[in-house]
A and B are shown apart, each in its own frame.
Chain A
């Protein structure tokens, strides 16, 4: 007996079947394409942006994230459920194409059949199992959404339609298979039936039903199955099913970096407006992003502002922008999203790092902030405006005399470039290490570490200005560019070859943002710099064992993917790191990013206290970080969380200095 099955069994293969079938299929596909094209006009409301360069890289991103589901799998449970469902669904789709390909093309036109023999057996088995896995994953996600109901997961009618369609498509598929097998394979070809194990189960359940009934059931369900699929195709543009196309396309349109660099505004051109007030001020990609969102809430789950009861959810922001794009393009974006939500962002990038759809949340928030600051002179509080004004006058947010910026280094082995520019590195100190007592200790430690490694360090002293990062993230592109231009001119005038910073914010700004404004000097954060000195045996650290937990700052971690070097330094110093639940790329912001270091935290609970509690939960009494902002926040957060005496915040440099081998 031939190892195959009769395609279109019980349905017939004449014009009365093929004609309506293909008519409906092409009509549905046409409808899908037309609806998608209509959506293009929504994206076209945005400003131009080139996201079609470096096509090989982009196609690689697309392939990796669609076929391998790389970003989706960043989260275990539902991520794997989606991945398995996706791969199964792709197999079922390919299987269906094979069937149609043979029955309606190769066999019909050339008399060529390939669904037979050994191949058919595996084909049958693979599809059966794919159907089973798809159904299992779907049911798992259904239970999660409707019974477990994870906090923050928004369930709408969309989800009911999607789950309903997919489940019924798969279940009808199995019943059809069962009915066919009950009539054909069960009585005559049990050997083949075992290659369709799930179909076999359905077939056995149908045993005892008369053939006439089975055939009627089969025919009805076959057409039902068909129309469910047509319904699925037609529903794609109007439900979150659209993510099949939009999310996939978003992988192609991904920001290829440098990671986290903002677009520099042309402050001297004849632009009449700055930042995003209305939809037309966003780019087409910003609008497209809103269509790629599947409301999976991964961003919201990781948002430090959302976690501490502030009125910000990155997911909600994206959805609100999406609603404006579709329904009310003239609306004020800032009123729609709300100022408090916009000001709450710490630009920690946790949302973007985890987003399975490669959506860019942070730049949209900064764009709206830019409008508030540059066009309205608006800030989250008068203390922020004071910090801005201070920076304008004295080049630091504290309003400390600019001429005293280098005073901290008095008596230390460090030269001012104005006196002697022949140095190994320029240490770009930053405002906190220059003026804040606690952070001066860190800067001092760094200088002494360099001394022990024989590195000649220079600083700009009173010629250094704030790098402008907090101001920029707060939306004050004007002030940022003013500071940046002055710093760049000074640094260039000394012909510096290498810059090291101890502040991740300075580091990210000098190494990425200043590129746009003409600074090309190699810039490094002290963790990677010291790690290399240690490997080269220039910096000798004597291990003296201790226990600690380590906080990955956002701008060293997520923004620059530096996770290994700081831990290597701690290990060399004898440290055993007890990791917090949220570490490395999942690290939880200290609350100071996005210019929030200048602002009072008036809404919700304190982010720094949340993080201090997470650190204390590891059982360690030492919280190590690599950032002056983090250190400042933790000094306060530990007090606020009443962990004084239980937990001490320190910087890696301080720990290393205590263990320098002489």
Chain B
């Protein structure tokens, strides 16, 4: 059985600034990282590999330099890493992206049954949280979002039970396999690559599937297949804040003022 993690290489957005003139992201000198939520998806796929002997495959859609991130996936232990890259995939929105990823998963499913697809709950550059659910609908998989714990997997009955992390509560949900799961950070702690694994990863082959492999209608992928596009990016104007109290002479009183303020704005739950 395959366990697939869908990962995305993103700019380290904590550092991304917006060019105030052109309203585009300044990407110069910004390092690329694996989308942090996807790192947890990847880790969970490896845990299932360790526990159930499933084969772990990492897939990523992106430009050719995405191999760097897939190389890191090898360094922490995936069995196979596949890059979905083609000029015609570029400029994709969440719908077009999920079509490409689904096609790749279907292709893998023809050789070996796909049991679980893990995605991060969202990416830190797009923040849509739509690609995972998009894959689930394209493939007709059960869809479990915001998962913070895998409770159990019954390989005989082909079911999975997970815990979802919702606002102020948890929810235990059971679903039949195959399933698409989006994960939150609390799910696990991603492992750190060992040196032998890093060394091995240098030798590993990263397969590249372009559209000659996936054979998708070019009108349905990339910019052409995207019903949405970003028309403008800008930093919101911020209202000037206010300074309340005096934290140095009266720390306790000021902390109380702050709490009252947060409560009054409904920003703090008691």
Asked whether A274 is an interface residue with its Cβ less than 8 Å from the other chain, the reply is yes
Residue contact B29 to A462, C-beta cutoff 8 Å: yes
Q: How far apart are the CA atoms of A130 and B191 in the complex, in Å?
A: 64
Among A373, A378, A401, the residue within 8 A (CB) of B15 is A401
Instruction: Determine the chain A residues whose CB is within 8 A of the CB of B31 once the complex forms.
Output: 393-394, 402
Residue contact B198 to A478, C-beta cutoff 8 Å: yes
Among A274, A377, A393, A399, the residue within 8 A (CB) of B193 is A377
- Nearest CB in chain A to that of B28: its residue: A403
Most A CB contacts (10 A, CB to CB) among B14, B15, B195 go to B195
Provide the main secondary structure of the chain A interface.
Answer: helix
Asked whether A375 is an interface residue with its Cβ less than 8 Å from the other chain, the reply is yes
Q: How far apart are the CA atoms of A404 and B250 in the complex, in Å?
A: 35
Q: How far apart are the CA atoms of A59 and B15 in the complex, in Å?
A: 58
Among B30, B189, B191, the residue within 8 A (CB) of A401 is B30
Asked whether A374 is an interface residue with its Cβ less than 8 Å from the other chain, the reply is yes
Q: How far apart are the CA atoms of A5 and B115 in the complex, in Å?
A: 99
- Nearest CB in chain A to that of B197: its residue: A377
Asked whether A389 is an interface residue with its Cβ less than 8 Å from the other chain, the reply is yes
Asked whether A328 is an interface residue with its Cβ less than 8 Å from the other chain, the reply is no
Most B CB contacts (10 A, CB to CB) among A376, A377, A403 go to A377
Residue contact B30 to A377, C-beta cutoff 8 Å: no
Closest beta carbon of chain A to B148's beta carbon, Å: 16
Residue contact A375 to B196, C-beta cutoff 8 Å: yes
Q: How far apart are the CA atoms of A537 and B58 in the complex, in Å?
A: 64
Q: How far apart are the CA atoms of A402 and B14 in the complex, in Å?
A: 12
Identify which of residues 371-409 in chain A touch chain B, using a CB-to-CB cut-off of 8 Å.
373-379, 382, 385, 388-389, 393-394, 399, 401-404
Residue contact B195 to A403, C-beta cutoff 8 Å: no
- A478 with B195, Cβ < 8 A, contacts A401-B15, A403-B29 known: yes
Instruction: Determine the chain A residues whose CB is within 8 A of the CB of B196 once the complex forms.
Output: 272, 375
Residue contact A401 to B192, C-beta cutoff 8 Å: no
Asked whether B139 is an interface residue with its Cβ less than 8 Å from the other chain, the reply is no
Residue contact A393 to B33, C-beta cutoff 8 Å: yes
Residue contact B33 to A267, C-beta cutoff 8 Å: no
- Nearest CB in chain B to that of A389: its residue: B192
Residue contact B12 to A375, C-beta cutoff 8 Å: no
Residue contact A401 to B12, C-beta cutoff 8 Å: yes
- Nearest CB in chain B to that of A400: its residue: B15
**0/1 string, B28-40, CB within 8 A of A gives 1:** 1111010000000
Residue contact B15 to A377, C-beta cutoff 8 Å: no
- A374 with B15, Cβ < 8 A, contacts A402-B29, A403-B29 known: no
Among A274, A382, A394, the residue within 8 A (CB) of B189 is A382
Q: How far apart are the CA atoms of A404 and B14 in the complex, in Å?
A: 12
Asked whether B235 is an interface residue with its Cβ less than 8 Å from the other chain, the reply is no
- A379 with B192, Cβ < 8 A, contacts A393-B12, A402-B29 known: yes
Q: How far apart are the CA atoms of A374 and B194 in the complex, in Å?
A: 5
Instruction: Determine the chain B residues whose CB is within 8 A of the CB of A267 once the complex forms.
Output: 195
**0/1 string, B1-25, CB within 8 A of A gives 1:** 0000000000010110000000000
Instruction: Determine the chain B residues whose CB is within 8 A of the CB of A376 once the complex forms.
Output: 194
Instruction: Determine the chain A residues whose CB is within 8 A of the CB of B198 once the complex forms.
Output: 478
Q: How far apart are the CA atoms of A298 and B23 in the complex, in Å?
A: 64
Instruction: Determine the chain A residues whose CB is within 8 A of the CB of B189 once the complex forms.
Output: 382, 385
Instruction: Determine the chain A residues whose CB is within 8 A of the CB of B192 once the complex forms.
Output: 373, 377-379, 385, 388-389
Closest beta carbon of chain A to B258's beta carbon, Å: 20
Instruction: Determine the chain B residues whose CB is within 8 A of the CB of A462 once the complex forms.
Output: 29
Identify which of residues 188-225 in chain B touch chain A, using a CB-to-CB cut-off of 8 Å.
189, 191-196, 198
Instruction: Determine the chain B residues whose CB is within 8 A of the CB of A399 once the complex forms.
Output: 12, 14
Q: How far apart are the CA atoms of A229 and B35 in the complex, in Å?
A: 74
Closest 6 CB pairs of A and B: A403-B29, A377-B192, A401-B15, A374-B195, A393-B31, A377-B194
Starting from the known contacts A376-B194, A393-B31, A401-B12, 20 additional A-B residue pairs (CB-CB under 8 Å) come to: A272-B196, A274-B195, A373-B192, A375-B194, A375-B195, A377-B191, A377-B192, A377-B194, A378-B192, A379-B192, A389-B192, A393-B12, A393-B33, A401-B14, A401-B15, A401-B30, A402-B31, A403-B29, A404-B15, A462-B29
Q: Which residues does A use to contact B, with CB under 8 Å?
A: 267, 272, 274, 373-379, 382, 385, 388-389, 393-394, 399, 401-404, 462, 478
